[in-house]
Amino acid sequence: MEIKTICVVGAGLMGHQIALQAAISGFETFCTDTSEVALNKAQDFASNWIGGRLEKGKITSIEADAIKQRLTFTTNLDTAACNADLVIEAIVEIVGIKRDLFARLDKICPPHAILATNSSYLVSSKIADATSRPDKVLNMHFFNPALVMKLVEVVQGPHVSDETVEKAMEVCRALGKVPTRVNKEIYGFVANRVFAAIMTESLYMLDQGVASVEDIDNAIKFGLGHPMGPFALLDLVGIDLEYDVRMGRYQDTGMAEDKPSPALVERYAAGNFGRKSGKGFFDYKK
């Protein structure tokens, strides 16, 4: 089975960039969301990106027109998914909402279609049994910003067939990405387990007054060689997403150490979600 058509569900920060990357890479692509506002923003982003590349001579006018023709934005999930060979879900990190969506996709999509979640923490085994095709449900975890970051973690839960994993790896390569095969489901997969350890320690030091946001970020950047400090990265990814992930983990384990830190809770409660809101650990309104 050759994958020709990709549907991305969720037109947020990750979803619209995954969709644009798919269209750039030659796939017939549909990006769908229940929010017309989100879709309009996604369409504007794609138009500006394509226009910018054209202006700089990175692509020709023929290539720009071809990308636009391959990329469709719609609020109609049936239209977006009915002919999809691969669906990539990029919605909120709430398992109940994902299960409802996958159950619906199972009815809409062709029987051969692979259903992937871009979730960075929720494993596909929590979703797969909402469908009649658990062997075709897996994690394809892209990294933010999806147009730039090369890594995609392809996670094989116990229910996922080898054929599905190989097909997902093949698509990642066609998208110009570097797929990493994760052979077992584990909370946070590979990269985020390492990031979570750094972030937990950084938040602990901030809560304890050991060092400031700026100084902790500088230590990680200039001492460990990271391109971005943990707090700047959290602002980019979204403090609301990190809060939801940590609350979900705490609800699963009941362990006090898995609770979101006071610094995270304080910003979440104030609506300071990072770059998207103009303020997080850093102030972007200036």
- Catalytic positions are 120, 141, 153, 192
- Both tokens of 114, joined, read 């692979």
CA dist 73 and 52 (Å) reads: 20
Q: How far is CA 134 from CA 10, 130, 165, in A?
A: 21, 8, 12
CA dist 249 and 122 (Å) reads: 9
209: left (phi over 0), alpha (psi -120 to 50) or beta: left
CA dist 212 and 205 (Å) reads: 8
